[in-house]
A and B are shown apart, each in its own frame.
Chain A
Amino acid sequence: MLTSLFLATVEAHGAVAGASEPGPLESIQHTLDSLGFEWHYIVFQGISFLILFGVLYKFFIKPTIAAMEERQQKVESGLKYAADMKAQLASSQQETATLIKNAQLEANKIIEESRKTAKDFADKIQKESSERANDQFAKAQQAIELEHKKMLADARSEIARLVVTTAERVLAKKLTEADRASYNETAAKELSAV
C-alpha cells in the first residue's frame, strides 16, 4: 500500500515537474506536505513504536522465543533421547539376541550331554540287567540241575529201599531153616577166614 502511495506521489511529482520544474527535494517536500506528513509526528511515532516494540519484546517476544527455544531444546533432547533409546534398544536387542543364541547353544549342549548321559545310563542299566538275568538264569539252571540230581538220587534211594524191603520180606518168608543153617555155615567159614 505504501509502495503504491509512493508511486502515486512520484507520478504527481512528474506532472508538477513538467509544469514548473522545481528541485527534487523540494518536490518531495511538497509532496509530503500535500499528504499531511509532519516530521515530529513521525519521530514521536517512531519512538512510540520502539517503546512498544521494546515492551513487546521484553514481555512477549523474548519469553515466547525463550519458550520456543526451550521447547526446541526439549524436542531436540527428546529426539536425542529417542535416538539414544533406539540405539540402546538396538544394542539391547543385539545383546539379547546374543544372549539368546548363547543360551540356546548352552541349552543344546546341555541337552546333548543329557542325552549322552541318559544313553550311557540306559546302556549301563541294560548291560547290568542282562548280566543279572544271565546270572540268575545260570543259577536257576544250576538249581534245576541240582534238584534234578537230588530227585534222581532220592528216587534211586527210595527204589533201592523198596527193593531191599521187598527182598527182606520175601526172603523172610521163603528161607527155610535148612537154607539159613547152610548160609550160617558158609558165613562161619567166611568169618573164620577173615
Chain B
Amino acid sequence: MSANKKTQQLARQLFKLSLVDGHISAERVTGVLGYVEKIKPAHPLAVLKIYQRLVATELAKSQAIVEHAGAVSDSLLQTIAASMTKKYGRAIAASTRANPKLLAGLRVRVGDDVYESSISAQLSTLAATAAN
C-alpha cells in the first residue's frame, strides 16, 4: 500500500470518528485534532488537509447557501431550509449570500447540488436555445 493511500485511509478513519449520528461533532473534531497532534502520524499535513476537505464537504451537505438578488425574508429562508431538510432527510441550515448577477431570483447550493430559479438563468437558457 502506498503512502498516499495510507494517508487517505487514516484521514477517512479520523473523519468517521468525527461523526455523531451522521453529523459533524465539534467535540469529536477537537478530539481528533488533539489525537493527531499527540501521535504525529506519517505525513501529518497531508492527513489534516484530506480530513479538512472531508469535514468541509460534510458540513456543506448540511448547509444550504442561498444566493439572491434583492431582499430575502427570514420566512423565505426558513421555507427553503425546511424544503431541503425534507428533500435530503437531514437537518440543513440556510445561509444567504448576495449575488446581483442573478438580477432577480435565487440560487441554492447544497453540497455539490445547485438549484436555481433566476432571471439570469432564464436568460442564459434563452441564449443557449437561440444559439442552437
Contacts and interface: CB of A to CB of B under 8 A. Distances in A.
B123 A168 contact: yes
A183 B105 contact: yes
Interface string A138-149: 000000000000
Interface string B105-132: 1101000000101111001101110110
A188 B115 CA distance: 10
Given A192-B79, A192-B80, A184 B70 contact: yes
Nearest to A193: B83
A181 interface: yes
A129 to B, nearest CB: 41
A189 to B, nearest CB: 8
A184 B75 CA distance: 12
Contacts of A1: none
Interface in B79-107: 79-80, 82-83, 87, 100, 103-106
A8 interface: no
Interface string A165-194: 001100110010101110111111111101
Contact of B103 (A161, A175, A189): A175
B131 A194 contact: no
B129 to A, nearest CB: 8
A103 interface: no
Contacts of B79: 188-189, 192
Contacts of A184: 68-72, 76, 104-106
Please tell me the size bucket of the interface on A: 20 to 34
Contacts of A187: 105-106, 117-118
Nearest to A162: B127
A156 B68 CA distance: 30
Contacts of B73: 181
Interface in A80-117: none
Interface string A30-72: 0000000000000000000000000000000000000000000
Contacts of A157: 127, 130-131
A160 interface: yes
A180 B131 contact: no
A175 B126 contact: no
